[in-house]
Amino acid sequence: MTDAVLVLDMLNDFVTGEIAAERAERIIPTLRDDLLPAAREHGVRVVYVNDAHRPEDFELKIWGEHAMQGTDGAAVIPELTPAPEDDVFEKRFYDAFYETGLDQHLRSLGVDRVVITGLHTNMCVRHTAASAFFNGYDVAVPEDCADAFTEAEHEQGLEYLEYVYHAERTSAAALVDGWTDGDTVS
């Protein structure tokens, strides 16, 4: 199995800015210190997919202006700055696959399982998992590397992913152990 780690919306506006999720702070150390370094060490591709909204985006009617393309609010938080070898995609909708070229990129790398991390478990993670599932990818979600505005929304998101898309509900440590043991090919 060939994995890729998707990091969704770990942006200034989502962590400390316009629509900050205070709980996002909880997942930063695990992403920064454990999952992402191990992925890179084991040749697992790390792919950031970030909101980069334009003024005409209809989502702004729901959430207000946030993560506007080219602004500091749309930049990845300093603690998780992408490494030079990481891939970075922009998105304008909840789903990281929709009109981004992500599917074609992952297929060109031979990826068959996506590890979805970041914000929000019940929104962007959920919609990205749907597209991954519909496109034939296996889905894993380390619950200590994704979060939402509330614990209830996070848990509801995880349960939905597990039930509807048969997503593997896992942890960063379990994924790292699998990569170390060679359970996945990268």
Q: Which residue ranges form the domains of the chain, and what is each CATH number?
A: 3-180 (3.40.50.850)
11, 39, 92, 173 from 33: Cα distances, Å? 18, 11, 29, 11
pLDDT (average), residues 86-115: 98
* pLDDT tens, residue by residue, 59-86: 999 999 999 999 999 999 999 999 999 9
According to the model, what pLDDT value does residue 18 have?
80
Q: How confident is the model at residue 92 (pLDDT cuts 50, 70, 90)?
A: very high
pLDDT (average), residues 29-48: 98
pLDDT (average), residues 79-104: 98
According to the model, what pLDDT value does residue 182 have?
82
